[in-house]
Chains A and B, each alone.
Chain A
Amino acid sequence: MSGSFESLLARLRGGDGARRSGLLLIVALMLLALAGVGSLPTWITLTLAGLAMGMMVFIMASGLTLVFGLMDVLNFGHGAFISLGAFVGVSVMAALGPWMESASLAVNLAAVLAGAIIGMVVTGLFGYVFERLVVMPVYGNHLKQILITMGGLIVVEQLIYVVWGPDAIPIPRPETLKGALTFGDVVLEKYRLLAVAVGLVIFATMTAVLTRTKIGLLVRAGVENSEMVESLGYPVTRLFIAVFIAGSALAGLGGVMWGLYEEVITAHMGMSVMVMVFIVVIIGGLGSVEGCFLGALLVGLMNNYVAYLAPKMALGSSILLMVVILMWRPEGLLPVAKGR
């Protein structure tokens, strides 16, 4: 009995405390917003919008935080995968026009799923090429990483112009995902519900992989101490490439989802979302997927509440949130204890 008590204490010391305060922060923000907004139905609508945005940003940011955590690589080109994923996915969906316009939810979802999967495959493959060509030569040098990955981003944007032309491309949502469900005064946009569901599935899947599979455990171990992972006989670069590919594919998925959310795509959309992505990665604690998830929800909610209460302050409020959190926890919400 004392054993289980001690192991409970051990668990609390092992990060559950930080996790709980992150959740408390989200609840506090929601309550504060409820007081500020004053109307429960409006608040529910805004909360759903915030959660949906948070989930999409989480999907885009999760790979980036692991890429940094595992090998200290700063990838400023991550936005390229977001834009590329969106263009590929949207092209697929456009080609499946009749499916998008069908009145059947299943057919609509099949079109979106096809776009998402092909978008992910292409960005995943592209991520592999990007890693080998652009990132590998600059392992261990932050300044070069920033410069060359930003260069890579610009090249990708230009390539998108070449293939898809310079204009923004509108992309209507599929028929059954247009509009909203209404319950009395509560308005729930259908697409946002889908985004939340997809985000939860991705988060649950990632958590399962990171906690229940050997490769996931190795990734988490490598984020803490990559030298020790190598000393146990596992090549960290191979793990890193796998994470980079997965992260690129997820960024691609995020791009497809973001494109449908905004109902328009542009070559620089990746770059503009990256501001939020970086804020989320920093708030969450570099290298922490769970922190990234909490951070994304905070930023998504904050954005939508503030956009309603004081429209001009939305982005500024995310930055303010980051500053406040860093003053409270300089390493982010759920920092990874580096053991090197």
Chain B
Amino acid sequence: MSDRLTHGTPLRPPLLSLSGVHTHIGQYHILQGVDLDIPEGQLTMLLGRNGAGKTTTMRTIMGLWQPSRGEIRFDGAGLAGLPTPEIARRGIAYVPENMGIFGALTVQENMHLAARSGPMDSARLDWLFEVFPALKKFWKSPAGSLSGGQKQMLAIARAVIEPSRLLLIDEPTKGLAPAIVSALTGAILQLKSFGATILMVEQNFAMARAVGDTVAVMDDGRIVHRGLMADLAADKALQERLLGLSMDMHQ
């Protein structure tokens, strides 16, 4: 099974792997032994109903929550216990669920801070302006005045302006209009074509199937299914069992 997941590169270790990760928030036991491998160069979709623990998984990877048990290995080294800025500097970029835009700063200033190691790479910036023209248009405007879709574009642009090894994107299409969703889908497909490794949470199944290579489904703080996105997309019964896509209405 794991051979199939990594598309014929079975000897290559995953870029990121979580094993037996538990996370407590206050007295609540949220993650209850998460096992998850993110193969390099692929887009791993993390699916699951609301409250399953997807955001908590991402926050735990970023060090925004500390795991109480288990191991997180990134590129061969343990991450657990490291402070968030150090995790970011090792090459993990994060687009949080609420986008984390600095509204009082301009679009340009948001990007400037994201480009941590110096001036922005002009080739990357040109590419970003091409896929997200609104960024160029509102370059000098306060980011707080952008629309929801434009903010999401800025959040993603901010995560890719500095080269990183792994991109975490939490529900990028939440609350966005279909036209913007398809623009985002196009951008993510392009990122993939450049060889990016991505872990993405997405409720929009159409988008998930369009961009996902492998998929992990969470429920109640555990991974309950792992496989290829294409297999899940082709199997209606499995989808209903795992995600309750249409079942919820009847129960």
- A residues bordering B, Cβ < 8 Å? 3, 6-7, 9-11, 13-15, 214, 217-218, 220-221, 224-225, 227-235, 336-337, 339-340
A10 to B141, Cβ gap below 8 A? yes
Chain A CB within 8 A of B13 CB? no
A11 to B102, Cβ gap below 8 A? no
Chain B nearest CB, measured from A262 CB (Å): 36
A228 to B100, Cβ gap below 8 A? yes
Bound CA span A336–B144, Å:
11
Interface mask (B97-133 → A, CB under 8 Å = 1, otherwise 0): 0111111110001101110100000000000000000
A232 to B116, Cβ gap below 8 A? yes
Chain A residues positioned under 8 Å from B102 (CB to CB): 220-221, 224-225, 228, 339
B105 to A232, Cβ gap below 8 A? no
Chain A residues positioned under 8 Å from B138 (CB to CB): 6-7, 10
Bound CA span A225–B113, Å:
13
Chain B nearest CB, measured from A7 CB (Å): 5
User: Which residue on A lies nearest to B110, using beta carbons?
Assistant: A221
B137 to A6, Cβ gap below 8 A? yes
Main secondary structure of the interface of B (DSSP, over half): loop
| New A-B contacts (15) at CB < 8 Å, excluding given A13-B144, A339-B98 | A11-B141, A14-B104, A14-B142, A15-B144, A217-B105, A217-B112, A220-B102, A228-B96, A230-B84, A232-B85, A233-B85, A233-B116, A233-B162, A339-B101, A340-B98
- B residues bordering A, Cβ < 8 Å? 62, 64, 83-85, 88-89, 94, 96, 98-105, 109-110, 112-114, 116, 137-138, 140-142, 144-146, 158, 162
Contact of A224 with B104 at beta-carbon distance under 8 Å, contacts A214-B112, A230-B83 already known: yes
Which A-B residue pairs are the 8 nearest by beta carbons? Answer: A14-B142, A228-B100, A10-B145, A233-B88, A10-B141, A230-B84, A221-B102, A13-B145
Contact of A15 with B142 at beta-carbon distance under 8 Å, contacts A228-B102, A232-B88 already known: yes
Pick from B88, B113, B116: contact of A221, CB below 8 A.
Answer: B113
Contact of A11 with B105 at beta-carbon distance under 8 Å, contacts A225-B100, A228-B100, A233-B116 already known: no
Chain B nearest CB, measured from A154 CB (Å): 33
9 A–B pairs (Cβ distance < 8 Å), ordered by A: A6-B137, A7-B141, A10-B142, A14-B144, A14-B145, A218-B113, A225-B102, A233-B116, A337-B103
Chain A nearest CB, measured from B107 CB (Å): 10
Bound CA span A15–B114, Å:
23
